[in-house]
């Protein structure tokens, strides 16, 4: 049996923000539930209110404009990211990352905002979105703010989000449309598994950006490199930046070696 | 709270506890015990059901979220009293041993075949990635799916044994 809580499913953003404002930390947002339900069941959290945001129409959908770039609604699921025509054509790294998350059942439920809000060091979508230099739009009763994803994570499973706030969408600037990319994710098994080490790289005519997962308390992004940066200099910066840990799934030496190997493989390929 | 939803073509209206998972609702409130609970945490796929055409882990969902949903479970496979073609293929190809994973496995395969009537081995593997089988082994399961989608030469198989 799960602990008791009230389920609410507001159908407008305004109603949702009012609930968050009133209940604060007593309320927890439910998107795909693939992290939240595990935490509730495990007793890690005990919300009085579980607030389903999937009934709010304007949190859905993907769109692109030449001025703002790509906008992805908070409750867009992995399977929608894998199949969305705009994403596949213009930002295929996002579809690639989404296709690597969990199993079919999880991809049918897990949302992009849930992935970044969980702030797990191994989150697949977070890593790709960091490489794209994405921004996060955050709303509360008092207004809207935009935060760079690179400044969004504050520690293991913590973010800048306050209890009365909601992530409404993710935005990727148009400069990176059709950028070349490479991604690698190390897992223990071929089937569905969390990453032990992951690397996402995007490259345009002028810029090369590297994001890394499972090698620091949060997913991280290295400072931008020029497109023609030598491999050795990228590896040097990566080596100095990462802080992998030993845990039940892999040793820090193994994680580090695989991060370096993946960076090398991807850079040589791009 | 009150919810109304359709399961295997039948409409149900029930008063539910708001913390009820969809899995517990299906098994304990409706008595449809074909759907299983393995891990209860999204790992094993024993609880897989099809919700509005998509496979999902019912252990990670609330029944409260599913008002208005159209859901398919293993019980819907043999409503006529006869096993479905895929169930027969699982039976014939020894894809079932203890059977605990089978209801979820069949749901994943059903959703795959609906989109893709002739899946490749790789596509079958990908579709059942989230369904763990601890006894039969995946080889027979994949063979059964091939047979269930008319992609195996039965004569050739007989010659092999
Ligand atoms: C078996 C299993 C395997 C997994 N494998 C992977 C994997 O391979 N890769 C990977 O990256 N992840 C994996 N995950 C983790 C999980 O599926 C992802 O993190 C997923 O993207 C979470 O999204 P969700 O919509 O299900 O989030 P939820 O569980 O609904 O929410 C997660 C958290 O974010 C908060 N939240 C959700 N939406 C918002 C919002 N719009 N604004 C503010 N807060 C919000 C919730 O309150 C909650 O704290 C796995 C999980 C399981 C159970
Ligand atoms: S019981 Fe739901 S995935 Fe294991
Ligand atoms: S038949 Fe026993 S778990 Fe698959």
CA A47 to chain centroid: 23
Name the residue with the closest Cα to ligand 1, atom 43: A166
C-alpha dihedral (B122, A266, A264, A120), degrees to nearest 10: -80
**A135 to A126, A131, A188, B46: CA distances (angstroms):** 11, 11, 31, 37
Q: Report the C-alpha gap between B61 and A36 in whole angstroms.
A: 10
Q: How many CB atoms lie within 10 A of CB A42?
A: 10
Domain A61-175 part of CATH 3.30.465.10: yes
Beta carbons within 8 Å of A147's beta carbon, 6+ residues apart:
A135, A136, A138, A160
Q: How many angstroms does the Cα of residue B102 sit away from the middle of ligand 3? A: 7
B1 CB neighbours in chain A (<8 A) are 7
Query: Alpha-carbon distance A223 to A237, whole Å?
Result: 9
Please give the domain boundaries of chain B with CATH numbers for all domains.
2-76 (3.10.20.30), 85-154 (1.10.150.120)
Top-level CATH class of A6-52? alpha beta
Question: Which residue's CA lies nearest to atom 4 of ligand 3?
Answer: B133
Tell me the chain A residues in contact with residue B62 when contact means C-beta distances shorter than 8 Å. Answer: 7, 30, 33, 37, 50, 52
pLDDT at residue A197, rounded to an integer: 85
Please count the other Cβ atoms lying within 10 Å of the Cβ belonging to residue A64: 17
User: Residue A146: helix, strand or coil by DSSP?
Assistant: strand
| Statement: residue B156 has pLDDT above 90 | no
- The answer to whether A222 touches A259, Cβ cutoff 8 Å, is no
Q: Is the separation of the CB atoms in A66 and A21 below 8 Å?
A: no
Could you tell me the pLDDT band of residue B153, with boundaries at 50, 70 and 90?
confident
B74-97 exposure pattern, b = at least 16 Cβ within 10 A, e = fewer: bbbbeeeeeebebbebbeebebbe
Distance B90 CA to ligand 1 centre (A): 33
Euclidean distance between CA atoms A74 and A81, whole angstroms:
12
Q: Does ligand 1 come within 6 angstroms of the Cβ of A32?
A: yes
Per-residue pLDDT tens digits for A71-124: 999 999 999 999 999 999 999 999 999 999 999 999 999 999 999 999 998 889
Q: Shortest Cα distance from B13 to chain A (angstroms)?
A: 18
- Bridge partner list, B11: B6
Query: Rounded to whole angstroms, how far apart are CA atoms A99 and A89?
Result: 15
pLDDT at A191: 66
Which pLDDT value is given to residue B3? 97
Contact A6 B18 (CB under 8 A): yes
Confirm if A205 and A223 have CB atoms less than 8 A apart. no
Query: Is the distance from CB of A102 to CB of B60 less than 8 angstroms?
Result: no
Best residue of A30, A35, A103, A118 to probe chain B, by most B CBs closer than 10 Å: A103
Which B positions 60-99 lie with beta carbon below 8 A of chain A? 60-62, 64-65
pTM > 0.90:
yes
Matching fold, domains A61-175 and A178-269: no
Cross-strand partners of A135: A148, A171
B68: left (phi over 0), alpha (psi -120 to 50) or beta: left
CA distance A69 to A129: 13
The answer for residues whose C-beta is within 8 angstroms of residue B99's C-beta and 6 or more apart is: none
Structural fold of domain A178-269: Enolase-like; domain 1 (3.30.390)
Separation CA A107–CA A146 (nearest Å): 27
Residue A126: helix, strand or coil by DSSP?
helix
Tokens of B147: 């047979």
Does B19 sit within 8 Å of A104, measured CB to CB? no
For the record, the structure tokens of B34 come out as 């074909």
Rounded to a whole number, what is the distance in Å from the CA of B27 to chain A's nearest CA?
13
Q: Are B127 and A104 in contact (CB under 8 A)?
A: yes
- Shortest distance between the Cα of A9 and any Cα of chain B, in A, equals 8
Residue A130 has pLDDT above 90, yes or no: yes
Q: Identify the pLDDT of residue A169.
A: 98
Q: Is residue A150 lining ligand 1, measured as CB closer than 6 Å?
A: no
Residues B19-36: pLDDT tens digits?
999 999 999 999 999 999
Residue A229: predicted pLDDT? 95
Q: Where are the domains of chain A?
A: 6-52, 61-175, 178-269
**Mean pLDDT score across all residues of chain B:** 95
For the record, the structure tokens of A25 come out as 């930390």
User: Mutual orientation of helices A124-131 and A92-99 as an angle, nearest 10°?
Assistant: 160
Which distant-in-sequence residues (6+ apart) come within 8 Å of B48 by Cβ?
A: A105, B35, B55, B56, B57, B58, B103, B104, B105, B107, B108, B130, B131
Give the residue-averaged pLDDT of A121-146.
95
Determine the pLDDT at residue A9.
Answer: 97
Average pLDDT, chain A: 94
């Amino acid at each position: 049996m799960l602990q008791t809580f009230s389920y609410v499913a507001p159908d407008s953003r305004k109603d949702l923000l009012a609930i968050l404002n009133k209940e604060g930390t007593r309320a927890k947002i439910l998107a795909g539930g693939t992290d939240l339900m595990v935490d509730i069941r495990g007793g890690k959290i005990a919300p009085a209110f579980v607030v389903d945001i999937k009934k709010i129409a304007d949190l859905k959908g993907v769109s692109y404009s030449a001025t703002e770039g790509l906008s992805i609604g908070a409750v867009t699921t992995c399977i929608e990211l894998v199949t969305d025509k705009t994403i596949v054509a213009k930002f295929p790294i996002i579809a690639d990352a989404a296709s690597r998350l969990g199993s079919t059942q999880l991809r049918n439920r897990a949302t992009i905002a849930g992935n970044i809000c969980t702030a797990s060091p191994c989150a697949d979508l977070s890593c790709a979105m960091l490489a794209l230099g994405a921004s996060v739009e955050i709303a509360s009763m008092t207004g809207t703010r935009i935060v760079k994803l690179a400044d969004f994570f504050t520690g293991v499973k913590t973010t800048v989000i306050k209890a009365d706030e909601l992530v409404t969408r993710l935005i990727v600037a148009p400069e990176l449309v059709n950028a070349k990319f490479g991604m690698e994710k190390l897992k223990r098994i071929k089937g569905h598994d969390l990453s032990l080490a992951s690397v996402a790289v995007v490259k345009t005519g002028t810029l090369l950006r590297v994001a890394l997962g499972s090698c620091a308390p949060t997913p991280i992004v290295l400072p931008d490199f020029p497109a023609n940066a030598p491999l050795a200099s990228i590896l040097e910066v990566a080596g100095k930046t990462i802080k992998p840990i030993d845990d039940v799934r892999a040793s820090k030496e193994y994680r580090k070696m695989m991060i370096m190997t993946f960076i090398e493989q991807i850079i040589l390929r791009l | 709270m009150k919810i109304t939803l359709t399961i295997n073509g039948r409409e149900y209206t029930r008063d539910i506890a708001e913390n009820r998972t969809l899995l517990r609702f299906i098994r304990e409130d409706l008595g449809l015990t074909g759907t299983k609970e393995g891990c209860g945490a999204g790992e094993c796929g024993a609880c897989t059901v099809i919700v509005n055409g998509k496979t999902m882990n019912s252990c990670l969902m609330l029944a409260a979220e599913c008002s208005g949903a159209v859901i398919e479970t293993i019980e819907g496979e043999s409503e006529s009293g006869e096993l479905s073609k895929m169930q027969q293929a699982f039976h014939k190809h020894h894809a079932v041993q203890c059977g605990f994973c089978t209801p979820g496995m069949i749901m994943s395969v059903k959703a795959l075949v609906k989109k893709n009537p002739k899946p490749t081995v790789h596509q079958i593997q990908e579709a059942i990635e989230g369904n763990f089988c601890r006894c039969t082994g995946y080889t027979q399961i994949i063979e059964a799916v091939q047979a269930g989608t008319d992609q195996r030469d039965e004569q050739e198989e007989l010659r092999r044994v």
